């Protein structure tokens, strides 16, 4: 039961989005962070591939990722006992008919000042020995791709947030909110809370939560993505492999604690909920990976799925609702919510306090109009 019922900010959803914003706002405001599950991060945040890939996604997502890199590489000393990121690198491969896509993608990344090197198939196989030279016609390598320790990042935000006074309420599904005068009222089992600003960080539930507050939905779409872990090829140490992507994102593979995380990079629209891996999609991943890599998959150690939630233009949604005062959206993170959380939280905190785009993000070319929920109405 919270000590007070009056807060500056009520944040609904404690995935990486809500947790990072709560911590950031708590430096100068009072914050309650409300999570339906007992475990923060139980949904999309706990199910990701944990990659930082700064050339991935639309321009605003790439700007947010670039602006998050410094925090991930050098977090404040008290934030996490473990490093938040480790070097990984990524290899993009193309069959002969995909070579134009490989070249176009590399040219675009270079034109934007990103780092990417062309490799011969033989050089690519020196990095990932089971690559099938008979199907790989070309490859590129991105050195700036990192592994993220998602648990350390989320726990860092929750721990520092608590130290800054964030009130975290778990196991409390917010069924709606009412605006009275200048304040929002939320009824919980723990009692009624009041807040000046209500933040929607409800991930796949963001539209449903908005509707329950009398706010019109934005047409966000949760898309299921499947992942599985398989054993490494017998006798092979895979820990130093880069992540491996098909250039058309038909599959990806990355080392995962001595085994391999695989995904068919699927995007199936589903209603918000606790989603599970479909055996057929796991089989599709295994099949696509065996076409590119000479390895025998004897056993799938475990599989899971999560929802990546996108706005229809696949850009982030960060800002006040254009119609209902004091209702703030922080959602539509798609497949980039972990790698962009640090800068997205800084941007959201600034906009939610009616300040502009932080200078570090403006320097990366981010404009508030690109992420404004109003563009979706």
Ligand X SMILES: Cc1cc2nc3c(=O)[nH]c(=O)nc-3n(C[C@H](O)[C@H](O)[C@H](O)COP(=O)(O)OP(=O)(O)OC[C@H]3O[C@@H](n4cnc5c(N)ncnc54)[C@H](O)[C@@H]3O)c2cc1C
Site for ligand X (CB under 6 A): which residue of 68, 140, 333, 350?
Answer: 333
Query: Residue 294 and residue 128: Cα distance in Å, rounded?
Result: 10
C-beta of 195 vs 203, nearer to ligand X: 203
Q: Which helix (H) or strand (E) holds 193?
A: strand 191-200
Query: Residue 230 and residue 221: Cα distance in Å, rounded?
Result: 29
**10 Å Cβ neighbour count for 312?**
12
The residues, ordered by sequence, that sit 6+ positions from 183 with a Cβ below 8 Å of its Cβ are 194, 195, 196, 326
Site for ligand X (CB under 6 A): which residue of 18, 60, 75, 156?
Answer: 18
The separation between the first and the last C-alpha atoms of the chain, rounded to the nearest angstrom, is 38
SS3 content of the chain, % helix, strand, coil (to 5): 30, 25, 40
Residues within window 162-181 making contact with ligand X, judged by CB under 6 A? 173-174
Site for ligand X (CB under 6 A): which residue of 7, 209, 251, 327?
Answer: 209
Give residue for tokens 């998959």: 297
Query: Residue 79 and residue 59: Cα distance in Å, rounded?
Result: 29
Q: Does residue 196 interact with ligand X by CB under 6 A? A: no
Closest CA to 18 of 174, 142, 122: 174
Q: Whole-number minimum distance, CB 254 to ligand X, in Å? A: 9
Torsion sign, CA atoms 86, 262, 14, 199:
positive
C-beta of 11 vs 29, nearer to ligand X: 11
Site string for ligand X, 341-360 (x = CB under 6 A): --------------------
Q: Does residue 161 interact with ligand X by CB under 6 A? A: no
Alpha helix locations (H) across 48-127? 59-73, 99-111, 121-127
**β-strands 146-148, 243-246: how paired?**
unpaired
Site for ligand X (CB under 6 A): which residue of 30, 98, 140, 339?
Answer: 339
C-beta of 338 vs 366, nearer to ligand X: 338
The residues, ordered by sequence, that sit 6+ positions from 376 with a Cβ below 8 Å of its Cβ are 218, 219, 311, 312, 313, 317
Q: Please count the residues of this chain forming the interface with ligand X, following the rule CB under 6 A.
A: 41
Q: Which stretch binds ligand X (CB under 6 A): 46-54, 96-104, 189-197, 214-222?
A: 46-54
**Exposed/middle/buried for residue 170 (C-beta within 10 Å: 0-12, 13-18, 19+):** middle
Query: Residue 290 and residue 296: Cα distance in Å, rounded?
Result: 7
Residues within window 220-259 making contact with ligand X, judged by CB under 6 A? 225, 227
Q: Does residue 306 interact with ligand X by CB under 6 A? A: yes
**β-strands 221-230, 268-269: how paired?**
antiparallel
Q: Which stretch binds ligand X (CB under 6 A): 12-20, 25-33, 284-292, 344-352?
A: 12-20
C-beta of 42 vs 79, nearer to ligand X: 42
Q: Whole-number minimum distance, CB 99 to ligand X, in Å? A: 26
Torsion sign, CA atoms 68, 247, 307, 313:
positive
Q: Whole-number minimum distance, CB 133 to ligand X, in Å? A: 28
Give residue for tokens 């200078």: 359
Site for ligand X (CB under 6 A): which residue of 37, 103, 268, 294?
Answer: 37
The residues, ordered by sequence, that sit 6+ positions from 70 with a Cβ below 8 Å of its Cβ are none
Q: Whole-number minimum distance, CB 308 to ligand X, in Å? A: 5
Site for ligand X (CB under 6 A): which residue of 91, 106, 119, 202?
Answer: 202
Q: Does residue 35 interact with ligand X by CB under 6 A? A: yes
Site for ligand X (CB under 6 A): which residue of 44, 186, 261, 295?
Answer: 44
Q: Which stretch binds ligand X (CB under 6 A): 24-32, 44-52, 188-196, 295-303?
A: 44-52
Q: Whole-number minimum distance, CB 278 to ligand X, in Å? A: 13
Q: Which stretch binds ligand X (CB under 6 A): 33-41, 122-130, 181-189, 278-286?
A: 33-41
Chain positions contacting ligand X, by CB under 6 A: 12-18, 34-37, 41-45, 47-51, 173-174, 201-205, 209, 225, 227, 306, 308, 331, 333-339
């Amino acid at each position: 039961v919270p000590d007070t019922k009056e807060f500056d900010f009520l944040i609904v959803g404690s995935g990486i989005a809500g947790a990072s914003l709560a911590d950031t706002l708590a430096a100068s405001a009072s914050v309650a962070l409300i999570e339906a599950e007992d475990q923060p991060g139980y949904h999309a945040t706990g199910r990701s591939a944990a990659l930082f890939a700064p050339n991935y996604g639309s321009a605003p997502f790439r700007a947010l990722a670039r602006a998050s890199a410094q925090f991930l590489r050098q977090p404040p000393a008290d934030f996490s006992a473990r490093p938040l990121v480790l070097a990984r690198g990524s290899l993009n491969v193309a069959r002969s008919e995909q070579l134009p896509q490989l070249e176009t993608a590399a040219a675009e990344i270079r034109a934007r000042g990103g780092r990417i090197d062309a490799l011969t198939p033989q050089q690519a196989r020196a990095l990932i020995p089971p690559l099938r030279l008979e199907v790989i016609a070309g490859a590129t390598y991105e050195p700036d791709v990192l592994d993220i320790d998602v648990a350390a990042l989320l726990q860092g935000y929750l721990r520092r947030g608590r130290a800054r006074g964030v009130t975290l309420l778990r196991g409390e599904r917010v069924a709606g909110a009412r605006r009275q005068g200048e304040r929002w009222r939320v009824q919980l089992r723990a009692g009624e809370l009041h807040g000046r600003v209500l933040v929607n960080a409800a991930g796949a539930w963001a539209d449903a939560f908005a509707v329950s507050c009398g706010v019109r939905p934005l047409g966000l779409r949760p898309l299921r993505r499947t992942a599985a872990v398989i054993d490494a090829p017998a006798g092979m140490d895979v820990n130093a492999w880069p992540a491996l992507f098909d250039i058309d994102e038909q599959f990806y593979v990355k080392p995962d604690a001595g085994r391999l995380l695989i995904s068919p990079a699927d995007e199936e629209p589903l209603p918000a909920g606790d989603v599970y891996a479909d055996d057929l999609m796991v089989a599709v991943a295994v099949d696509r990976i065996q076409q590119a890599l000479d390895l025998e998959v004897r056993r799938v150690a475990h599989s899971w799925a999560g929802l990546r939630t996108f706005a229809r233009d696949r850009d982030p949604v960060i800002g006040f609702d254009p119609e209902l005062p004091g209702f703030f959206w922080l959602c539509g993170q798609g497949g980039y919510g972990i790698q962009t959380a640090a800068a997205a939280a800084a941007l959201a905190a600034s906009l939610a306090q009616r300040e502009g785009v932080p200078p570090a993000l403006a320097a990366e070319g981010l404009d508030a109009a690109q992420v404004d929920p109003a563009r979706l109405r």
